Structure 1
Amino acid sequence: MSHISTDKNKLLTRVRKVKGQSLALEKSLEGEPDCMQVLQQISAIKGAVNGLMKEVLEGHVREHLGAADITQQQRQAEVEQVITILKSYLK
């Protein structure tokens, strides 16, 4: 069973947190919000997304890159995929 399936409830909780924070930001922007409130909400959303990325990435590294039964070639391909994702994420 994959780490995504195993951690599904925890990951869904994080996604729902991001969704709730995004909706709160949208609602706030529909009114006349204070700049600091908007900045705080954006910061909270970023933190929630970073936490989600950390959880999924850690599970992937442990399950896929840490697997003893994969070849060096498979491991290298996994590493390249993770690097590509991280470069995209960190833009």
Structure 2
Amino acid sequence: MEHTRAISAQGDATATRVEVAFDGEMPTSGGSFAGYCSPLQDLPARAREELTDWTQTLGGHLAAEGYRGPYSPDLVCTQDGTLYALE
């Protein structure tokens, strides 16, 4: 799949809430990740909303299973703003 950006969001799950702490981009150099730039810049509004929704939904599932703590979904974003989850 041709993608333009590798992005992620950092969430935190507790017994009473799930929140998105921050988001960012994972630039690559020669096919390897080369740092983390936060906050995300120039992400289409629809993609940002979807990233937030996915991060909160994942956190809700993790919290329901008893997980407490940080988590971070990694995704790629295509030229048209479509997101695909990696992990």
Give me the TM-score of the superposition, normalised by structure 2.
0.30
Choose between structure 1 and 2 for higher RCO, CA contacts under 8 A separated by at least 6 residues.
Answer: 2
Give me the TM-score of the superposition, normalised by structure 1.
0.29
The structure whose residues are more often helix, as a share, is 1
The structure number with the bigger radius of gyration is 1
